Amino acid sequence: MKVVFAFVKPRVALAAVLVLMVMGLAGCSSTPKLSNASVSVCFRAIPVGRSSLHSNDVRLVGVHELPLGSVRLPLSSTEKGALTAEKDTEICAMAFQGDFKAGQVELAPQTQAGRFAVVLVSAKSLHVVASVVLSHIPRGFGGRGL
């Protein structure tokens, strides 16, 4: 009985190795798979913040999730009570750049005008809590501070 070994051509072997490598690496990705649970609640709050500006000609500068206790803008006693009742302990702070005229930004003092608006949105119920219009960007968003 004669045994015959069938040798694979080098090109076919190389192609097979490459296919296996590609299939093996397909499961490895440099970007993690995102799910709704892994996306910050503050990104869901951006449309709420943007709609409080009453202008389409704005640019989002940054978004931060903050503990309610770290907010330095004055919140009304009604707003503090509502946030406490909802057990909402996080605030979404958004900075927008644009040309904001006096009275254009919801909940900001009616006389404030400037190039930047900071809008605070509750993280849980997604409603505007407070706003301010500034001439410069705050430190937390890349500026020199208030």
pLDDT at 112: 92
* Topology adopted by domain 36-141: Nuclear Transport Factor 2; Chain: A, (3.10.450)
Q: Where are the domains of the chain?
A: 36-141
User: Looking at this protein, which amino acid is placed at residue 115?
Assistant: R
| 89 pLDDT more than 60 | yes
Name the H helices within 36-76: 41-51
**Model-wide pTM > 0.85:** no
Q: How far apart are CA 113 and CA 103, in angstroms?
A: 8
Q: What is the pLDDT of residues 63-82, one digit of tens each?
A: 988 887 777 766 767 777 77
| pLDDT band (50, 70, 90) for residue 10 | low
Whether 104 and 54 have beta carbons less than 8 Å apart is answered as yes
pLDDT at 11: 58
* Nearest to 123, CA basis, from 78, 88, 94: 88
Whether 109 and 88 have beta carbons less than 8 Å apart is answered as no
Q: How far apart are CA 42 and CA 55, in angstroms?
A: 20
